[in-house]
């Protein structure tokens, strides 16, 4: 048996290619949209991609299943569970609880495991030449390492009222079935640490049924109501783009079978687009951005969180321009196409060549930040997630999550000195650029954030208790 785990750090998303080396057939599970990864793996290992499947209709990334089927001729095997409102609206081989997908000498048995979504399935893999017992289960967004899938996304992200509570109840029942599996079975989930599909995902890529039964919080609750209450509490804000992913992954859409190559704009072309109002996304490091940025541009750093924040802040119908190095543009393009943001007008790599007078960000240090706390003429705004804010925040700070800042500008007082912060600076850099873009002139960014502020407070309290050592 051939097995390879493919992991996209930018979305903390896992996909898999499993093959029968005797027959040369292979199946891809939950593929991302830049499918050349799977084509290369198959070619290097003398495999043919003959089967493609998904564990559910995804919300956090745009699936590459149809692109892969179009290129390889492989057959799509997708869940028909969950009822009429949860059916894929394009041709596929329907899967039900107990269905079996045969890939050469391998078989994958379908387990209907609703909870995260009504149609969610898991796949039990048996390598028949080695054993007649299953050895792996691909759980998608059902069971993660140390956590389970959240059932609130359909209601919070897609606006499907009343699905949250029923989803949590289904999840409880699905977990009972999972717990009955042999403890030696390897568990390969659809996401890892950093995904918004759960609140406490582990960092290791795989686990076992037995390990999760003793480690995962979800298996420590004997009472259903307590389980549901805990599962639904403290979940991170679902990115705005999740609703679009649900729609695009369920219905027909335009296929993109190659990674696009975006044009590098001339000075004239860029200036025309800029003055026409096309949105500018500056992907440079926050420190470099603060030293000189094009007015109106939004600073979303080109790191592993790039796609997620673009999904929060870019409308799927609008064009936008990237500011990025030539060496970055392919990586950023892949990150964007994985969530369907294809409307890139072009890019530039040097803001100084634009001829536009650059602005500088007002970034303050810890001492300056502390001096602002408690002043009536100052509004301190914490742009972290709500659960982070509720756990600990600066006295008197207001909370406006950066992902929804553009929809809550009325909560930011234009008549006060505004001081923003997050945990360690990245989200505050986004928020600062959004406020400047929307005409705020009295904004300062405390880039050290809660991480630095809390460390300083702990040091101060330690010294006050007599435990401070001067070196």
Residues 320-357: pLDDT tens digits? 999 999 999 999 999 999 999 999 999 999 999 999 99
User: Which of the four pLDDT bands, split at 50, 70 and 90, describes residue 234?
Assistant: confident
The stretch 388-406 carries a mean pLDDT of: 96
pLDDT greater than 90 at residue 193: no
C-alpha dist (Å) from residue 75 to 15, 69, 70, 104, 107: 17, 6, 9, 14, 15
pLDDT greater than 80 at residue 158: no
pLDDT in the model for residue 153: 80
The stretch 435-461 carries a mean pLDDT of: 94
Q: Contact at 8 Å (CB) between 462 and 468?
A: yes
Task: Please list the residues that pair with 109 across neighbouring strands.
Answer: 100, 124
CA-based nearest residue to 420, from 362, 462, 466: 362
Alpha helix (H) ranges present in 233-313?
242-250, 267-275, 286-291, 306-313
Strand arrangement, sheet containing 186-189: 100-103, 106-112, 121-127, 136-140, 186-189, 207-208
pLDDT greater than 70 at residue 63: yes
User: Which of the four pLDDT bands, split at 50, 70 and 90, describes residue 470?
Assistant: very low
Q: Residue 218: CB partners within 8 Å, gap ≥ 6?
A: 143, 147, 148, 175, 227, 231
**Gyration radius from the chain CA atoms:** 24
The stretch 445-461 carries a mean pLDDT of: 91
Q: Contact at 8 Å (CB) between 348 and 354?
A: yes
Average pLDDT of the chain, as a whole number: 94
Task: Please list the residues that pair with 188 across neighbouring strands.
Answer: 138
Six token digits for residue 229: 């209450």
**Is residue 408 classed as helix, strand or coil in its secondary structure?**
coil
The DSSP H or E segment spanning 279 is strand 279-282
Domains located in the chain, CATH noted:
2-250 (3.60.15.10), 267-354 (3.40.250.10), 363-458 (3.40.250.10)
pLDDT greater than 60 at residue 469: no
pLDDT greater than 70 at residue 471: no
User: Which of the four pLDDT bands, split at 50, 70 and 90, describes residue 462?
Assistant: low
Q: Which residue has the higher pLDDT, 249 or 465?
A: 249
């Amino acid at each position: 048996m051939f097995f390879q785990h493919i992991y996209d750090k930018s979305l903390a998303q896992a996909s898999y290619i499993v093959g029968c080396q005797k027959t040369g057939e292979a199946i891809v599970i939950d593929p991302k949209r830049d499918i050349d990864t799977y084509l290369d793996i198959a070619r290097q290992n003398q495999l043919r991609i003959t089967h493609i499947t998904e564990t559910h209709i995804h919300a956090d990334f745009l699936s590459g299943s149809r692109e892969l089927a179009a290129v390889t001729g492989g057959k799509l095997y997708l869940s028909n569970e969950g009822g009429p409102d949860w059916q894929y609206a394009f041709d596929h081989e329907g899967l039900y609880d107990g269905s079996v997908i045969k890939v050469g000498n391998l078989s994958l048995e379908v387990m209907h495991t609703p909870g995260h979504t009504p149609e969610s399935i898991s796949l039990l893999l048996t390598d028949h030449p080695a054993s007649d017992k299953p050895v792996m289960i691909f759980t998608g967004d059902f069971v993660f390492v140390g956590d389970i899938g959240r059932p609130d996304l359909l209601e919070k992200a897609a606006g499907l009222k009343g699905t949250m509570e029923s989803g949590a109840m289904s999840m409880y029942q699905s977990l009972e079935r999972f717990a009955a599996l042999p403890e030696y079975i390897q568990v390969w989930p659809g996401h890892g640490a950093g995904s918004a599909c759960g609140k406490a995902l582990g960092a290791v890529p795989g686990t076992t049924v037995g390990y999760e039964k003793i480690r995962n919080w979800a298996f420590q609750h004997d009472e259903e109501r307590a389980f549901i209450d805990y599962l639904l509490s403290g979940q991170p804000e679902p990115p705005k783009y999740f609703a679009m992913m649900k729609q695009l992954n369920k219905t027909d859409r335009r296929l993109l079978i190659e990674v696009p190559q975006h044009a590098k704009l001339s000075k004239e072309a860029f200036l025309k687009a800029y003055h026409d109002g096309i949105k500018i996304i500056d992907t440079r490091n926050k420190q470099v951005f603060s030293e000189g940025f094009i007015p109106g541009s939004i600073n979303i750093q080109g790191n592993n969180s790039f796609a997620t924040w673009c999904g929060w802040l870019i409308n799927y119908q609008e064009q936008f321009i990237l500011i990025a190095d030539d060496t970055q543009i392919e990586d950023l393009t892949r990150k964007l196409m994985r969530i369907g943001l294809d409307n890139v007008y072009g890019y530039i790599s040097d803001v100084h060549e634009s001829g536009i007078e650059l602005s500088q960000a007002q970034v303050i240090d810890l001492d300056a930040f502390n001096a602002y706390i408690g002043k009536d003429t100052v509004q301190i705004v914490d742009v972290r997630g709500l659960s982070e804010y509720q756990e600990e925040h600066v006295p008197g700070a207001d909370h406006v999550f950066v992902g929804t800042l553009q929809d809550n500008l009325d909560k930011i007082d234009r008549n006060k000195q505004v001081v923003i912060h997050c945990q360690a600076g990245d989200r505050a850099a986004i928020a600062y650029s959004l406020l400047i873009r929307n005409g705020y002139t009295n904004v300062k960014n405390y880039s050290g954030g809660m991480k630095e502020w809390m460390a300083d407070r702990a040091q101060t309290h330690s010294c006050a208790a007599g435990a401070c050592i001067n070196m």
